[in-house]
Amino acid sequence: MPTPKRVALPPGLIVRTGKFVWNTMWHTMMSQMAPRSKAGEYTRPESAFRSREITPEAGRYRLIVGMSCPWAHRTLVVRVLKELQDAIALTTVYPSTDEGLWLFDSDQTELPGNCRTLPEFYRSCQAGYSGRATVPVLWDSKTNTIVNNESAEIIELLNSEFGELANDSDLYPESLRSDIDALNEKIYATVNNGVYRCGFAQTQHAYDQAVDELFTTLDELDERLSTQRYLCGNTLTLADVRLFTTLIRFDVAYHGIFKCNRRRIADYHSLSSYLADLYQLPGIADTCDIDAVKRDYFGNLFPLNPGGIVPVGPGWEGLKHPHNRERFS
């Protein structure tokens, strides 16, 4: 008996069916990972815990961070700049590829309930909590409360509220606050959150608008930094901290997976040397974990990188080279 001939499906049908199924699944997954507006623009939810009440006691407070997260990284940088490592303990979490939430590295005997996941920890501090469980977290061990989980406010608290436990540097001086606040507002919208607006855009228009605003601001910052060492002249401030944690991830992650690929930070003369200057400040390199950044962006953002393949480059070797920015001081 002759073997029946196999009838191949028309290639066009396979392609159209595959695109329809994947596009439907992609929008469903993206809606869970990245809330969007009607125009397809990423909209970042507000943080839930916003207290500013601190009683400066060594060992009382703990930071919970993810090493890949730029928002959490801000708190690590300020903790080092204010020399608070001995006063404020540190706990790290990592994102689960399959569960879509933060997991603790191991059994956390220093935390209530020996929690396995960050949502469990949030609920152990506030019964019935059902909101987002994000990093960073500033936790008060004495009262078992989450003081704050908004990075912009936590770094201000670390700068000003820990008294003699910290050094006497001021990263948010009164004389520069109006300049710092104005810079922070623009940089947050177009750069810090701007890279996410590019990567999580769900329409072409939303992406085009976000990427144009991102690189317009980077161009302006590069020009600004061509005549001064830091964003506010020759004084290191919280504005620099907030920009640093985005810039250091840019060429490694955002340029590729978030399609922020008009230029690299390495292509900017002033921004690249400024980034190296900050990276080489005492203790700052130790807060940076390139393996975590690559693993978590490329390995865990499934809708943006379904294969989970982590690129081999680039690295941060160039940030160790002389930057010659002391000439502005």
Domains delineated in the chain: 61-165 (3.40.30.10), 174-328 (1.20.1050.10)
Identify residue 273 by its one-letter amino acid code. Answer: S
pLDDT, tens digit (0-9, with 9 covering 90-100), for 277-292: 999 999 999 999 999 9
DSSP 8-state symbol, 328: G
Cβ atoms of 93 and 102 within 8 Å: the answer is: yes
216-255 residue pLDDT tens: 999 999 999 999 999 999 999 999 999 999 999 999 999 9
* The two structure tokens encoding residue 86: 């001995």
What is the rounded distance in angstroms from the CA atom of residue 56 to the CA atom of residue 76?
18
Q: What is the pLDDT of residues 206-217, one digit of tens each?
A: 999 999 999 999
Task: Provide the residue type at 147 as one letter.
Answer: V
Higher pLDDT, 172 or 2: 172
What pTM was estimated for this model as a whole? 0.90
Euclidean distance between CA atoms 54 and 56, whole angstroms: 6
pLDDT given for residue 17 in this prediction? 60
What are the residues whose beta carbons fall under 8 Å from the beta carbon of 7, sequence distance 6 or more? none
Pair 112, 129: CB distance under 8 Å: no
pLDDT of residue 247: 98
Instruction: Specify the residue for token string 């490329």.
Output: 298
pLDDT of residue 110: 78
pLDDT range class, residue 100, cuts 50, 70, 90? confident
- Strand order in 61-66's β-sheet? 102-104, 89-95, 61-66, 137-140, 145-148
Burial (CB < 10 A; 0-12, 13-18, 19+), residue 123, is: middle
What pLDDT score does 270 carry?
A: 98
Phi-psi bin for 170: left (phi > 0), alpha (psi -120 to 50), beta? beta
Residue 188, burial from CB neighbour count under 10 angstroms (0-12, 13-18, 19+): middle
Percent of the chain exceeding pLDDT 90 equals: 78
Residues forming the active site: 69, 196
Q: How many helices (H) does the chain have, and how many strands (E)?
A: 11, 5
User: Mean pLDDT over all residues of the chain?
Assistant: 91
